[in-house]
Amino acid sequence: MIRHETQIPPPEDIYPIDEWKIVETQFNPELMGQTETVFATANGYMGWRGNFLEGKPAVQNGTFINRFYETWQITYGEAAFGFAKTGQTMVNVTDGRTIKLYVDDEPFDLMRANIAKFRRTLDMQNGTLEREVLWETPGGLLVEIKSKSMVSFVHRHLGVIAYSVKVINSDAPLAIASIVRGTQENPVSEGDPRQSRGFIKKVLLPEQDSSDGMRVILNHITDASRMRIACGIDHEIETECPVQFRSRSEPDYGEVVFDVQAKLGRPINLTKYVTYHTSRTADARELRTRAGRSLDKAGTTGLYTLMAEQRNYLDDFWARSDVSVDGNHDFKIRRPKEVQQALRWNLFQIIQNSARVDGCGVGAKGLTGQGYEGHYFWDCDIYVMPFLIYTNPQIAKNLLLFRYSMLDKARERARAVNQRGALFPWRTINGEEASAYYAAGTAQYHINADIIYAMKKYVAATNDREFLRTKGAEMLVETARLWLDLGFYSEQKGGAFCINGVTGPDEYNTVVNNNLYTNLMARENLLFAAETVSQLREESSEEYANLLRRTNVREEEIAQWKTAAEKMLLPFDEKQGIHLQDDGFLERKPFDFENTPKDKYPLLLYHHPLVIYRSKVIKQADVVLAMFLLGDKFSFEQKRKNFYYYDPLTTGDSSLSACIQSILAAEVGDPELAIRYGLSALLMDLADIGRNVKDGCHIASMGGSWMVAVYGFAGFSDCNGKFAFNPRLPKEVEHLSFHLMLLRQRLHIDLHTGYTIYTLERDGTGLTIEHKGNPVELEPGTALKLE
């Protein structure tokens, strides 16, 4: 029985098939929350939800700056020692986008307007969001409104809007008001822990405002966290029609108004530049200057160059990162081109939300919505990092540097929960634990091992030993210390090293003993720490001296880590022949799947946590995830057994499961199931499977979609730095191709039904891979076709 059946996406063809675009051909007010996420544009530093330029209608008119947040004191029903104290919530910052249009004094308002034509396009090659509207005013004027906006990948502080108006059937007076406002809409939601808590009161307070020519700059400061932000707008206007403008500013509001005597058929072209600078990356006193400089530079560069740079950036991105998929059979209810489109949109959202991170992570929703309050979780390390490591390793490195920058906070956190070493926060923006519910938060100690896992993968794929020696080693020492201190040698378990009272990935089985995933991942962490520190020590390098200074690591610790790893308990049930998710998993009460109607899912919204926790029911792939991440630790037969035991117990209540279930289904030889789960991962957002896309995209499932293609169907594996392929295309996929960066060389993998062509880029140095279990030497610039 496949629980996931309940989650198969409805066939909603609201986005017509287009391999490189997401198009909306009519105004769908009832889908507005969803499309605000789907049409979001971002660059990892700043993000714009897919709102209309008029500012409304909107579910949430949102602009987010990564790591720009407000703090607040967490209130508990009943507090206890060591509970996280300070909440962090991403602030919806100054709105710099709004452009209002008045034709013959009639305001353009999508909700009331008579719309003769509507088309919105997210162009994933150009990196732009375009809209074309034909508006028939009550007075009978036909007005064409075109816009194209983008968040620049090249200039991370910059957004650009090209706005064009034309009255088709008459002359007419019109006004264009370009606005900047400190509205700060962070709506408060209740009853769904996955949403953000929002703010009841205004927390983004005006500090300064100025207007000068066509330029307005507003400065704000957050109430409690005291973070400062400047938002500047500037304009260029180009038209044959007579035009006058005036600008003004006041605290929290600024505008530049263009009064135009529009002539029949003559376009009025307005370019609006929007820039953000915050006190996180600039001196607080210089924010206005920096905003001004960015606007100067944008004006000098000009719209057309900015657009061209954007295209170049994405051409380069796609060359490295695209996954091309094709076939002649439908994927269940989806056509191959539809799959191609969805896959590209997923990858496009990843680059949008990670390209320009710097001292930041990638939140669970990226910058597309305020769900989960903009917090960074393990989603990035485990689900997004593989894609970045193998296609955009520099971004992967930036994310690791960010984790490293949080190490001191992690040391403090370990202390705060009575442990040695370092404990990375389960959810955070600023490095402090912000989880206010330990059972499905703080108890997920596996975050430590997840971060190390990503780091190890990065080092193995890029051979960036320098990162490992100068930063990774220090992270390894402190995380290994945490594990050693957390676990213990249990007499009751024959002297095995046990880790009790933790929560694994699955949040429906909390505070358990010996979670298989945690123990396996901790073991990797311990071993990698021992290996790395040993090597450094042997080499007696400067880095080792440095490590000693920073961690005072002792020789005996290395041995202790190894022993703990060797003796690590890996729970297994002999009778059923399966690995146990945790010691007590089989003892849970069978869950009454039969009498639980579909509308009682996700379970967490309809059942007391205790009811869920005592039941044999799973939210997130847990053993199954371990079998994917540490695939070489399980035999094929064992994977099959485990997979078919746990899969029917797994609800579709988490967006983190479907991709992993798909990969394992592919691996154990169940292509039909692999396709089904794969589609679920792929369409998580475009088909709004979780019914919460309005709160932002599911960034983990996006990385997961890439993994389904690469690890699942191409059968890629990368355990311990060995790169292997075991292609297993399902019948629906007749052709699948993509690039991977392996040891700094670009490899093209081109899979067809029955054969695979490997092509190592011309300026490579040669590479050994495995194909279907056999070692293969690849020469630079040569294509190798293998059956």
CB of 224 to its own copies, least distance (A): 17
By CB under 8 A, tell whether 293 contacts its own copies: no
Contact 479, 525 (CB under 8 A): yes
Please identify which residue in the block is written with the tokens 């094929």: 636
CB of 651 to its own copies, least distance (A): 15
> Which listed residue (478, 507, 557, 732) is catalytic?
507
**Rounded Cα–Cα distance for residues 708 and 566 (Å):** 32
By CB under 8 A, tell whether 84 contacts its own copies: yes
Segment lying near its own copies (by CB under 8 A), choices 27-35, 249-257, 388-396, 581-589: 581-589
Closer Cβ to its own copies, 170 or 596, answer by number: 596
Segment lying near its own copies (by CB under 8 A), choices 270-278, 343-351, 461-469, 493-501: 493-501
By CB under 8 A, tell whether 442 contacts its own copies: yes
Q: Which of 19, 144, 259, 583 binds its own copies (CB under 8 A)?
A: 583
Segment lying near its own copies (by CB under 8 A), choices 225-233, 411-419, 740-748, 768-776: 411-419
Q: Looking at the chain, how many residues does it have?
A: 787
CB of 600 to its own copies, least distance (A): 10
Please identify which residue in the block is written with the tokens 């100690």: 445
By CB under 8 A, tell whether 679 contacts its own copies: no
By CB under 8 A, tell whether 81 contacts its own copies: yes
By CB under 8 A, tell whether 380 contacts its own copies: no
At a CB cut-off of 8 Å and minimum separation 6, what does 162 contact? 147, 148, 149, 269, 270, 271, 303
CB of 674 to its own copies, least distance (A): 31
Site for its own copies in 38-57 (CB under 8 A): none
Q: Which of 215, 409, 471, 607 binds its own copies (CB under 8 A)?
A: 607
How is residue 412 written in tokens? 């403090």
- Residue among 737, 721, 733, 601 nearest 666 (CA): 733
Residue 704 backbone phi and psi in degrees, to 5: -65, -35
Segment lying near its own copies (by CB under 8 A), choices 264-272, 345-353, 600-608, 622-630: 600-608
* DSSP-derived secondary structure letter, 512: B
> With CB under 8 A, what is the number of residues at the site for its own copies?
55
How is residue 783 written in tokens? 């294509």
CB of 201 to its own copies, least distance (A): 15
Site for its own copies in 503-522 (CB under 8 A): 511, 513
By CB under 8 A, tell whether 577 contacts its own copies: no
Contact 626, 520 (CB under 8 A): yes
By CB under 8 A, tell whether 613 contacts its own copies: yes
Cis peptide before 602 (omega within 30 of 0): yes
CB of 543 to its own copies, least distance (A): 34
SS (H, E, C) 517-567: HHHHHHHHHHHHHHHHHHHHHHCCCHHHHHHHHHHCCCHHHHHHHHHHHHC
Q: Is 507 a catalytic residue?
A: yes
By CB under 8 A, tell whether 692 contacts its own copies: no
By CB under 8 A, tell whether 304 contacts its own copies: no
What distance separates the 2 farthest-apart alpha carbons in the chain? 89
Burial readout 307-335 (b: 16 or more C-beta within 10 A, e: otherwise): bebbbebbeebbebbbbebbbeeebeebe
Closer Cβ to its own copies, 502 or 778, answer by number: 502
CB of 569 to its own copies, least distance (A): 10
Strand partners, 37: none
Q: Which of 380, 436, 697, 740 binds its own copies (CB under 8 A)?
A: 436
Contact 658, 700 (CB under 8 A): no
**Rounded Cα–Cα distance for residues 625 and 377 (Å):** 16
Q: Which of 10, 494, 590, 773 binds its own copies (CB under 8 A)?
A: 590
Cis peptide before 57 (omega within 30 of 0): yes
Site for its own copies in 171-190 (CB under 8 A): 190
By CB under 8 A, tell whether 200 contacts its own copies: no
Strand partners, 248: 255
Segment lying near its own copies (by CB under 8 A), choices 380-388, 484-492, 710-718, 752-760: 484-492
By CB under 8 A, tell whether 605 contacts its own copies: yes
Residue 173 backbone phi and psi in degrees, to 5: -80, 135
The angle formed by the CA atoms of residues 513, 514 and 517, to the nearest 5 degrees, is 130
Q: Which of 56, 465, 550, 589 binds its own copies (CB under 8 A)?
A: 589
Segment lying near its own copies (by CB under 8 A), choices 19-27, 236-244, 433-441, 634-642: 433-441
The angle formed by the CA atoms of residues 381, 384 and 390, to the nearest 5 degrees, is 105
Q: Which of 77, 494, 754, 773 binds its own copies (CB under 8 A)?
A: 77
**Rounded Cα–Cα distance for residues 325 and 702 (Å):** 16
Contact 286, 157 (CB under 8 A): no
By CB under 8 A, tell whether 168 contacts its own copies: no
How is residue 509 written in tokens? 């089985």
By CB under 8 A, tell whether 438 contacts its own copies: yes
Residues making contact with its own copies (CB under 8 A): 74-84, 87, 190-191, 193, 416-419, 435-443, 488, 490, 492-493, 498, 500-502, 511, 513, 583-584, 586-590, 604-611, 613-614
- Which residues have a catalytic role annotated? 507
